[in-house]
Amino acid sequence: MTGLAWSWKSLGRHRIRTALSIAGIAVSSAMLLDMVMLSGGIEQSFTELLLARGYQIRVTPKGTLPFDTEATIDSISGIVQRLRAEPAVAEAGAVLGAALYGRKGDSLVTLFGYGIQPEAQALYRLDSGADLAPDDTAGLLLSSPAARLLSAAVGDTVELVGRLDPQVATAAVRKRLAVRGMVDWVYDYKDQPSVGAVLTVIQGLTGRRTGDQGSLIMVKLSQDSAAASVTAGLRRSFPRLEVNSVADLARQFKQRLVYFRQLSYILGTISLVVTVLLIATLLTITVNQRLAEIATLRAIGISRRTVVGQVVAEGVLLTLIGSALGIALGLITARYLDDILTSFPGLPAAFSFFVPRRGTLTTAAVVLLLTGCVAGVYPGWLAARLPIAATLRAEAT
């Protein structure tokens, strides 16, 4: 405690210089924290998003990811029944995603439609109203953006339009549905106007009823630990389909965004180098200005270890103050940067690039603390090697 108090008194001799150094350390610390959150936040956020409803496996057409293309699975209802018969499977539900239109007055507005099996759905959370029943072919679920776009609420009737006849620009398939509830679609991007109905309704609107087609199947297991083995078994049972666990999808997603991780490593390293240079430069200047004081302390019996420890303590104190400010600044800038990055088209609104976690903050704090110690080694070494007699003689003359 005495050492830190002495270090604080020493740094206080040049307040402006110390304040500028602390500001520089705070900026570097903020950058380091943001890069640490970015490097692990993408994968973690994506995994949490996929597991939002507890479904660990996705089954899609061969060679695609969910909703990556317009490819579909034929005879999807039969495949779902086979999956539900598997001992390790707790729930399985088919989903069909397609572009639809909603009638508002004399015009049509573009919507995204989800065809679901309500008894096993992993796509939405009910906000208000009622959920769909498995056999409710006259019900509809709306997201808030879709409700605003259609000027509809729970209890209203909405006309959905499927395929358009390109020759006469009129609807080839249409259906009037009653709004049962307002929902939050887990994978929607910001302000996406989405609607949902039972699978057969959306199949009819898109002309895929005959082939009983769907975009993907979501599977929920009885035990999370069985995901890898069940996935391998389903791949053998359904060789013509793509079967991926959440872990598999997270790895593929991570590979697609590898440049974000590389960017975080580069900028994080730069921030550490800047922090070391700032602290080392300030401490070196401080040591050079206190040569006589250090030589006097050594002359009266203060050990080299004590002198080195004192210089390192100054570096640690600078790091602690700058890091505390940097963490607060980093959290603020992370939120701002996250808003920018998540505004990219096609990204779910619930996705986040910067994920603050206790482990992330701890990692950044430990790295910064070690950085402060390392930065004080060279100035401490200079102070320890100071020639006592020559220094006192030079100061006296």
Q: What is the pLDDT of residue 323?
A: 80
Q: What is the pLDDT of residue 290?
A: 67
Distances (CA, A) of 281 to 21, 277, 306, 373: 9, 6, 21, 14
- The pLDDT of 284-288, averaged and rounded, is 73
pLDDT at 166 over 70: no
Residues 6+ apart with CB under 8 A from 296: 392
- What is the Rg, in whole angstroms, of the alpha carbon atoms belonging to the chain? 31
pLDDT at 197 over 90: yes
- Confirm if 314 and 11 have CB atoms less than 8 A apart: yes
pLDDT tens by residue, 223-260: 888 888 999 999 999 999 989 888 887 777 777 767 77
pLDDT at 267 over 90: no
Model confidence band, residue 78 (pLDDT cutoffs 50, 70, 90): very high
pLDDT at 94 over 50: yes
More confident residue, 196 or 314: 196
pLDDT at 3 over 60: no
- The pLDDT of 140-150, averaged and rounded, is 93
Backbone angles phi, psi at 114, to 5 degrees: -110, 125
User: For all residues of the chain together, what is the average pLDDT?
Assistant: 80
Model confidence band, residue 11 (pLDDT cutoffs 50, 70, 90): low
Q: Where are the alpha helices (DSSP H) in 121-198?
A: 144-150
Report the number of secondary-structure helices (H) and strands (E) in the chain. Answer: 13, 12
Model confidence band, residue 280 (pLDDT cutoffs 50, 70, 90): confident
- Confirm if 173 and 99 have CB atoms less than 8 A apart: no
Model confidence band, residue 9 (pLDDT cutoffs 50, 70, 90): low
Q: What is the pLDDT of residue 133?
A: 92
- Residue that has been written with the tokens 């208000």 in this structure: 128
More confident residue, 389 or 141: 141
- Confirm if 355 and 40 have CB atoms less than 8 A apart: yes
pLDDT tens by residue, 305-356: 777 777 777 777 777 888 888 888 888 888 888 887 777 766 676 677 777 7
Model confidence band, residue 1 (pLDDT cutoffs 50, 70, 90): very low
Model confidence band, residue 188 (pLDDT cutoffs 50, 70, 90): confident
Model confidence band, residue 140 (pLDDT cutoffs 50, 70, 90): very high
Q: What is the pLDDT of residue 182?
A: 95
Q: What is the pLDDT of residue 393?
A: 65
Q: Which two tokens stand for residue 75?
A: 């005879």
